[in-house]
């Protein structure tokens, strides 16, 4: 954040000192107050991230009680604001009282502006970092699609579709590369459905040997085959009332596809070795990382089954196509694993952020998650570097030397970054980019970007 947009409240009753401080912080957006009531009024009005406050305030500027009362009220009203108290020379005791009451730091008179500037700067850096963390935390935890970060337009669309299909019973097919979040989204469908109190049963059709898959899915009767010691219900029955997630449906053996089709049409199962038809009420969600149309062409997937499972198809974009959301997701994961590992890591270094933007992520979000997880353990410093992520020296995607394309790519990337930094605020984004608002609007339409999507990230998705 630039200094000019950093709001600083200075509470000082000595006009001479107040002027000196205003001059010292002239590059900031300074508001001032000279007593408790005006300080609280300014705090409410401007919500500054940092307050610089004298402890000696009227009506008794030689005492500290009014200053401490102002501090307490500030902390209560705005707990995330960093208050730096200014005390009289050698007044260590009251400085410590102020810290105990919630002040972020203290500074003793006479005022040395260079040192004070450093303290104030540091307070802003920390307050901004904390505020960014809170925002990401909110993004990560408050969405109806809990735990799913949808920071790109494409993922927002996916989440909206999930919210729409979840309450229905339609069979849903999730298409996307490995690691794009298909299982995560299928769980969200279940969680947002009226079936949420019943079971979510997942089965990976590619992970179970063909000869076992049928009994795994449909169950078996006692004595149906060697080793079938007792009657056992299958996954489909176990999901009764709830949701059945058929992962990698494209790998379901042809021999089983007919039985699956029958189940989807009739909603009854017959256990292996059994004759009884058992009615089952399940909502089916399927996923595959293969192209079902290609599978049908190659006679590996039944067309009639395909039309049964794709009543609604949701395409999940690969992570490399979610450019504007990469860093947000990376930061959410970083916060999560830093907290899990109890490591005080504040973010990514510039080279790490650049590498995250440049890398093509063939393993999608899973790859990002794994890299961030291990980087949190490996990082020596407070920031995760490209080397910690195993991305040092990683080349960006195929380089183009066409100057027009290079310019456009750089321009759209800068705009997306600026929008992200300013949560879609048009004026601040235009200011950061050094263009006028009308020019920014033109650029947004040129690159098909929507500022709203970035503000939604902060407000609406709250994932």
Ligand X SMILES: Nc1ncnc2c1ncn2[C@@H]1O[C@H](COP(=O)(O)OP(=O)(O)OP(=O)(O)O)[C@@H](O)[C@H]1O
* Footprint of ligand X (CB under 6 A): 148-150, 155, 176, 178-184, 247, 289, 329, 365-366, 369
What's the closest the beta carbon of residue 332 comes to ligand X, in angstroms?
7
Backbone angles phi, psi at 351, to 5 degrees: -70, -30
Instruction: Output 67 or 325, the one with its CB closest to ligand X.
Output: 325
For 296-334, give the DSSP string: HHTTSS-HHHHHHHTSEEEEPPPGGG-GGGHHHHHHHHH
The Cα 53–Cα 10 span in angstroms is 6
181, containing H or E segment? none
Peptide bond just before 110 cis, omega within 30 deg: yes
What's the closest the beta carbon of residue 463 comes to ligand X, in angstroms?
8
The Cα 326–Cα 330 span in angstroms is 6
Instruction: Output 154 or 435, the one with its CB closest to ligand X.
Output: 154
The Cα 241–Cα 449 span in angstroms is 42
Tell whether the torsion through CA atoms of 14, 15, 16 and 22 is positive or negative: positive
Instruction: Output 48 or 181, the one with its CB closest to ligand X.
Output: 181
What's the closest the beta carbon of residue 94 comes to ligand X, in angstroms?
47
Closest CA to 306 of 158, 162, 167, 175: 175
Closest CA to 26 of 120, 97, 150: 120
Q: What angle do CA 455, 456, 457 make, to 5 degrees?
A: 85
- Indicate the DSSP class of residue 111: P
**Residue 216 to residues 92, 221, 222, 237, Cα–Cα distance (Å):** 72, 12, 14, 10
The per-residue b/e assignment along 117-155, b for 16 or more CB within 10 angstroms, e otherwise, is eebbeebbbbbeeeebbebbeebbeebebeebbbbbbbb
Beta bridge partners of 220: 232, 272
Instruction: Output 14 or 216, the one with its CB closest to ligand X.
Output: 216
How many residues make up the chain in this entry? 463
What's the closest the beta carbon of residue 313 comes to ligand X, in angstroms?
15
- Report the residue number whose CB is nearest to ligand X: 181
What's the closest the beta carbon of residue 151 comes to ligand X, in angstroms?
8
What's the closest the beta carbon of residue 18 comes to ligand X, in angstroms?
48
What's the closest the beta carbon of residue 107 comes to ligand X, in angstroms?
42
Instruction: Output 49 or 140, the one with its CB closest to ligand X.
Output: 140
Q: Are 111 and 43 in contact (CB under 8 A)?
A: no
Instruction: Output 155 or 444, the one with its CB closest to ligand X.
Output: 155
What's the closest the beta carbon of residue 318 comes to ligand X, in angstroms?
10
Instruction: Output 171 or 180, the one with its CB closest to ligand X.
Output: 180
What's the closest the beta carbon of residue 384 comes to ligand X, in angstroms?
17
Instruction: Output 269 or 286, the one with its CB closest to ligand X.
Output: 286
Instruction: Output 148 or 433, the one with its CB closest to ligand X.
Output: 148
Cβ neighbour number for residue 60 with a 10 Å cutoff: 11
């Amino acid at each position: 954040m630039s200094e000019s947009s950093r709001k600083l409240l200075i509470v000082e009753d000595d006009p001479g000192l107040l002027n000196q401080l205003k001059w010292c912080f002239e590059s900031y957006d300074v508001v001032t107050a000279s007593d408790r009531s005006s300080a609280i009024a300014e705090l409410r009005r401007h919500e500054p991230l940092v307050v610089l406050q004298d402890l000696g305030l009227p009506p008794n500027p030689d005492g500290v009680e009014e200053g401490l009362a102002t501090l307490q009220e500030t902390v209560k009203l705005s707990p995330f604001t960093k208050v730096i108290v200014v005390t009289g020379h050698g007044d260590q005791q009251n400085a410590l009282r102020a810290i105990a009451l919630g002040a972020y730091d203290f500074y003793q008179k006479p005022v040395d502006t260079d040192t004070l500037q450093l303290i104030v700067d540091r307070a802003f850096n920390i307050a901004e970092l904390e505020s960014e963390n809170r925002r990401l935390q909110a993004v990560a935890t408050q969405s109806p699609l809990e735990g799913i970060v949808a920071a790109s337009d494409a993922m927002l669309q996916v989440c909206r579709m999930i919210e729409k299909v979840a309450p229905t019973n339609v069979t849903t097919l999730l298409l996307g590369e490995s690691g794009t979040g298909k299982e995560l989204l299928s769980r969200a469908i279940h969680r947002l459905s009226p079936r949420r109190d019943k079971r979510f049963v997942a089965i990976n059709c590619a992970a179970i040997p063909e000869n076992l898959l049928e009994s795994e899915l449909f169950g078996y009767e006692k004595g149906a085959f060697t080793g079938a010691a007792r009657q056992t219900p299958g996954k489909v029955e176990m999901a009764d009332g709830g949701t059945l997630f058929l992962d990698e449906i494209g790998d379901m053996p042809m021999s089983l596809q007919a039985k699956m089709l029958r189940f989807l049409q009739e909603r009854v199962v017959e256990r292996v070795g059994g004759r009884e038809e058992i009615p089952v009420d399940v909502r089916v969600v399927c996923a595959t990382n293969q192209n079902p149309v290609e599978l049908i062409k190659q006679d590996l997937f039944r067309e009639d089954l395909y039309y049964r499972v794709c009543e609604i198809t949701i395409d999940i974009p690969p992570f490399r196509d979610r450019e504007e959301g990469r860093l947000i997701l990376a930061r959410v994961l970083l916060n999560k694993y830093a907290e899990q590992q109890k490591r005080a890591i504040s973010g990514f270094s510039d080279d790490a952020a650049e590498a995250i933007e440049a890398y093509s992520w063939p393993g999608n979000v899973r790859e990002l998650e794994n890299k961030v997880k291990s980087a949190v353990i490996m990082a020596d410093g407070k920031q995760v570097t490209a080397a910690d992520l195993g991305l040092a020296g990683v080349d960006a995607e195929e380089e183009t030397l066409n100057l027009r394309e290079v310019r456009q790519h750089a321009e759209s990337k800068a705009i997306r970054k600026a929008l992200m930094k300013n949560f879609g605020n048009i004026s601040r984004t235009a200011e950061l980019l050094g263009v006028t608002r009308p020019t920014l609007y033109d650029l947004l339409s040129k690159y098909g970007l929507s500022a709203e999507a970035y503000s939604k990230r902060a407000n609406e998705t709250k994932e």
